[in-house]
Amino acid sequence: MIKDIIILQKRELARKLKEFYIPREAEIKEIKSDLIKVIIGPRRAGKSSFSIRCLSKLPNFGYVNFDDEKLIDVTNYDEIISAVEHVYNKPEYLLLDEIQNLAKWELFVNRLQRQGYNLIVTGSNSKLLSSELATHLTGRYSSILLFTFSPKEFLKFNGQKATETETKARLNSYLELGGYPEPLVKKLNYKEYLSTLLDSIIYKDIVKRFKIRSAQGIEDLSTYLISNIAKDYSYNTLMRVTKCKSVHTVEKYLNYLEESFILFKVNRFSYKVKEQINSPKKIYCFDNGFISAKAFKVSRDIGRVYENTVAIKLKKLELERDISLFYWKNQQQQEVDFVIKRGAKVKQLIQVCYDIADLAVKKREIRTLILASKELKCRNLLVITNDYEAENDEEWFGLKRKIRFIPLWKWLLK
């Protein structure tokens, strides 16, 4: 029976190799080394297609997709490997897809590496990005983060060189549709596809996996937060507006949504760790498409969509351990959207402002940036706009600062 499952999956693999493929910005370095290659990212972001394309350049590899309900109850993993050995004629390389669905997967992977297999494993749980990965895998490994399409990858779909006007128009589509590859490549209805995908992640990856008795609470929580992107929240507020019974439950559910690459939180900046933990956090979505598909709203708030788009790019840098990401707010409720910290120093302050043409808005954003600049001792100040570009010397509170203004589309494509 297991052999039949692997044969069917091999046919699926052959179909995938014939599908149209947009090259990704990520790459697997030293694919022939004995490192365990771990590809981590959201469901349906293209992890398996990316891994298959990398392995297709090699003479022989085997493939097992653990996102297959027929493999869920298999307890003898040797039967799986025996079937793969037979179907793929003793492959040297193995791709183990959606490994988090396999109980005690780390023991299995470690054993296969000791037996000499060259392994690529994929997972849709952000916990695999943390220090837990080092405790799980006793052998050497490298991890690669693969999100949904970046703006550059989204633009590659059309193939031809675009004018500036065409580039801006396509990126406006990206802001609304998000970067999931399948609906773009197969011309599916984005809203239906992403609505179904989100429901599947919640019920399959969260409710079923963590044995949540009532799904209504986490459903309400995800809908509320997706409808309030780029706003701060407290656990007590979330408990009141959803059917969650306690602050502990809210915190637990939010962690599940973050682990599954649906939402992520950004801490308020403070030099005191305790203040960071206790202060309200801001919520963002890993892909703009979920906002269009699931947010309960009367009209689209383009300013918050802009801010979420910037947050996604910065969050990826944080997950790759390049930066630490925060927002800043003082007691007067003046706020800077993003504080970029490297090591012990604040390296950049970023304000996202769609309507910079409004003079009152522009003054407010500049004033707040300079105020934060003084407090955080940072002179690298950036305002991301709709279409305004400049570099101005500004003065407030007796402080002179140089502020750069750049359109979102240019910042995304840098």
Give tens-digit pLDDT for 44-101.
999 999 999 999 888 889 999 999 988 888 888 999 999 999 999 999 999 999 998 8
Residue entry with tokens 């996102």: 67
What does the alpha-carbon distance between residue 31 and residue 54 come to, in Å, rounded to a whole number?
8
What does the alpha-carbon distance between residue 35 and residue 213 come to, in Å, rounded to a whole number?
40
Beta bridge partners of 407: 385
Residue 269 identity (one-letter amino acid): F
Domains in the chain, CATH or no CATH each: 2-146 (3.40.50.300), 189-300 (1.10.10), 302-414 (3.40.1350)
Strand order through the sheet with 335-342: 232-233, 281-285, 263-268, 324-329, 335-342, 345-352, 381-385, 399-407, 390-396
CB 82 within 8 Å of CB 52: no
What does the alpha-carbon distance between residue 328 and residue 267 come to, in Å, rounded to a whole number?
9
pLDDT of residue 177: 94
Structure-token pair, residue 273: 């760790």
pTM listed for this prediction: 0.93
pLDDT of residue 130: 59
pLDDT of residue 300: 67
Structure-token pair, residue 306: 């802009």
Q: How many other β-carbons are positioned within 10 Å of the β-carbon of residue 258?
A: 16
Residue entry with tokens 């675009």: 162
Q: How many other β-carbons are positioned within 10 Å of the β-carbon of residue 388?
A: 16
pLDDT of residue 34: 86
Beta bridge partners of 326: 267, 339
Residue burial 163-187, b: 16+ Cβ < 10 Å; e: rest:
eeeebbebbeebbebbbbbbbbbee
Point out the residues of the chain with pLDDT beneath 50: 298
pLDDT of residue 135: 73
Chain segment 168-217, per-residue pLDDT in tens: 999 999 999 999 999 999 999 999 999 999 999 999 889 988 889 888 99
What does the alpha-carbon distance between residue 94 and residue 113 come to, in Å, rounded to a whole number?
10
pLDDT of residue 32: 87
